Structure formats: structure tokens, C-alpha cells
Amino acid sequence: MEISRIGLIFLFLLSLLILVSSLRQRPRANSKKKRPPGPWALPFVGSIHHMVTSQPQAALRELADKHGPVMYLRLGQTDTVIVSSPAAAQEVLQANDLDFASRPCLIGPGIICYGNLDVAFAPYGSYWRALRKLCTIELLSARKVRHFASYRERQTMSLVAEIRATAAAAAAAGANKPKPVNIRGLLVSCTNTITSLATFGDVCSQERKEQFLSAVAVALNHSMGFCVSDMFPSLWFVDVVTGVTRRLWRAHRQLDELFDKIIEDCEQRRKERKVKSGGGEDEAAAENDLLSIMLRVRDEEDLEFPFNNTNIKAIIFDLFTGGTETISSLAEWVMSELMRHPGEMAKAQAEVREAFNNINPHHHESCMDRLHYTRMVIKETLRLHPPLPLLLPRLCRNTCDIGGFEITKGSRVIINAWAIARSPMYWDNAEEFRPARFENTMAEYRGTEFYYLPFGSGRRMCPGSGFGMATLELIVARLLYYFDWSLPGKMLPEEVNMETIVGSTARRRNQLHLVATPYDVPIEM
């Protein structure tokens, strides 16, 4: 999260007006355990000035090199601990997972997600445990991910067809230079549609889907922005005066109105289905989308936790956050790295074309286990470009020990997954793109190896990683199978801009544009 310089100047000037020495928190003289070391802090604003950068994960790694893998920062009025090593991450995410199983209450997600009723930001307790169970058993189980294979197959082939049409149009126009395609725009459209079909089925009109996706993008942008009251709870009025709170509530209302319309459409479809079946249809067997599942769960009489339309709306927002932003961004990073490394591109492409040769496109996903090197390419991309360089913050529920230091109750703990994945202590030539490094490693997406945490670990690990990876792998495989790729103009591989901007996910700062030359294989067989 980038903190604006104007906001920092405002806070600094404010600190000069209300400077009181008692605001400076000092370790207690009689404390048996010491607080983690950290950089110098200013009165009132604390260590925020160290975070004035578009790359907070890199700034925190530099500070950790000086102060250690368990580091204390006072960000405004909040105690924050940054964890930057696998050993310390294991203590937080495994050994003391229950002590760090909750989330701090942040203004943006709190407003957008109906008071943190979603899976990502709900505080730890019986409600969150019930939501997690719902996700792992009903919504995002391995069986359900397989069930959505037809949506992935259909939409990734639409992606291929759209790219081919662009190339054909340029050729028909007699263009001297092939027309580059906007990879990001196509990927966002593809992942949006896959997530929409999995969530709503065919209940939404195209117009309503577009309205909804636009509202999600606005809400996501606002919810992940900097709010003064997240670090200065006593200055909540600043967000009101600057209009931050007003913009959040406006985005929430717009999204809520569309949620109501979509749920109403789905309810009508369920009624029509029951009428057609004469009331004898097994509702669970007829469910082809996640919204129908949640509505059925809502109507069950033996629920042990509150679950109504408001809860459903909060969960849907999570599904779109992870299913569109994250996957489209990762696919763009994969293609960026392969364009910078033509040798790796050639190896992955040869593997895909051998595996898919003479295979009906409808069966491509069943061949994914043959793509060992391509999967290593994706793993290496996730190592260098994790979707959340700084994992979502955790809240310390009980004072405990991490790395020999005392972490007090109420502290926020942030895992710097980006720094851990680039540590030279655990990775040879850590800054280089080398997919083959995963040939003989135990590192997977499941969060069991704490030097590789692209989706987190422990109780609060991303529950949708299986759905996301199935989509990502098929997108990448089909882009490599159906097209030869080149850079526009006379651009060299080393000139591909790899600057990152961190928002709701870590994206390329600039959109990726590439020239696609169709490979001579049929789309249908």
C-alpha cells in the first residue's frame, strides 16, 4: 500500500501541534522479554516515513536487513511487527497460528464487506470457522473446482479465438506491422467471465455482469486505499473530512444495489426450476453456480451460524477479488517473464505442444499433469511476483513469543512473503528467473514450506487457491500452445518493463502488449 506524500506531510504537521512525549511508547523496564528491534520513529507518526514508497515490500526488506527478521514498527498509533524469514513465519503461521488467526479491523474492507462478514477479513471465531468450512466443503472444494472445468475450457477458448481474430484482422487489412494485443485487457475479461459463470451461472445478462464487474473494480480500488484511521484510530474524522469514508460508502451502495438484483434473478430461477421439476428435483444436484449453493445453505433450518443475503454478498466480493484480479495479474507476469527469457519460453512451449498434440481441446485440462516444466514456470513466477507481497495483516490475540521477542496482544503482524521468496539464504541466485530450481524442491502452493508462501499458510491461507491455479494453468498452457509470441517493434527481451505497482494485488505498472502469431493447429477437433 502506497502512502501519499501529502497525507504524510499532513500527519507530520499535525504531530508538531499535538506533540506529547507520552505518545512515545517505550519498552517496560520490568518486561522479561524485549520488544523486537526496529528503525527510528518520529513523534506521533512513528515509522510511517519509512513506508513512503510504491514498493513497501522492498523497503521493509531493506529495514529487515538492518534490524532482523522480526522487526517492530510503530505505524501511527498501531504496533506492527514485520516478519521476513521462513523460521519466524513458521512460528506465526504454524506454531502460534491460533494466536495470530484474527484480522485487524480496517476501514475499507469493513465498509465494503458489510462489517467484515467476508472470509478474508472476518475476525477469528465461530462465524469465521463456519465460513471457512462452507468454502472448503461446499464452494471451493476439489470436486467443485473440477465441476467448473467446462467454464474454464469455454472461456479460455474464447480468449484464443479473440486473439486469433485480432491477428487475422491485421493481416486482412494488409498492415505492414502486426498489431500487438493488450494481454492484460484480454486476461481480465477472461478471468472475469470465468468467475462470473462459476459464481452466478447464466442468470445474469451481459449488461448486468458488466455493471457488477465495474462496481467491484471501483469498490476494490477504494477498499485497498490508505485510510488515516487505520493507523490513527483517534483521527477517524480525517477520513470523513477528506471524503475517503464517503467514497467507500458510495462504492458500497452501488455494489449492494447490484447484489440485490443478481440475487433476485437467481431466486426467480430457482423458483422456475422447482416448478418445472414438480418440486421433486434434488436442489443440491441441480446447482451449477456458487450463488445457488449459498442460497440453498441460507434456507437450511439447522444452521449453527447467521447466514443471510448480507453474508452472501460479502463472500461474493471475496470470490471476485481473488478470482479476477489475482489470476489475471499472475498470468500477465508469467507472459512477461517468458518474454524476457526466450529460452524458458521455448522449453515451456515445446512441452505444451507435445502434451496437447492431437488431443481434443475439450481434454486439454486433463493433460495438465504432463506439463511439469510449465508448472515450474508458474511456480517461479509466483516466487518472484506473489499476488500479495505483504500477506494480509494478522492480529495478535494473545501476547506470545516470536523469534525470542515479545509480541504483545493487539499488535498487527505482517508476513513479507516477497522478501522471504527472494532470500539468498534459501534461494540460489534469488533475483533471477530460473524455473528449473523447482525440479528438486518440496515447495508447493499449500503453504507447508515456509520459504515459499504465495497464498499464505495456516488457518487464514487463501481458500480459493485451487480454483485460481486451475484457471491460471489452463490460460498459460493455451496461450503457449496456440500462439508464437514476440515483442512489438524492435524491443529486446531485456527491455520488457517489469516495474510493479502494489494495490489489491501486485500488478505490472504498465500493461503488457505482445504480438501473437497463430500456431497452425485447429481450435476445434
Distances (CA, A) of 371 to 48, 145, 380, 478: 45, 19, 14, 12
Q: How far apart are CA 156 and CA 162, in angstroms?
A: 10
Closest-CA residue to 387 (of 496, 520, 233, 224): 224
d(CA 195, CA 191): 6
- Which DSSP symbol is given to 261? H
> How many angstroms separate the CA atoms of 131 and 144, rounded?
16
90 in Cβ contact with 403 (< 8 Å): no
Q: Specify whether the CB–CB gap between 177 and 487 falls below 8 A.
A: no
Strand 506-508 versus strand 400-402 pairing type: unpaired
Return the number of other C-beta atoms located less than 10 Å from residue 157's C-beta. 18
Residues in the chain, total: 525
Q: For residues 126 and 139, give the distance between their C-alpha atoms in angstroms, rounded to a whole number.
A: 18
DSSP assignment, residue 321?
I
Q: Per the annotation, does 105 bind a ligand? A: no
Contact between residue 158 and residue 190 where contact means Cβ atoms under 8 Å apart: yes
β-strand pairing of 500-502 with 506-508? antiparallel
Cβ atoms 107, 231 nearer than 8 A: no
Binding residue numbers for heme = 462
Q: Which residues are annotated as a binding site?
A: 462
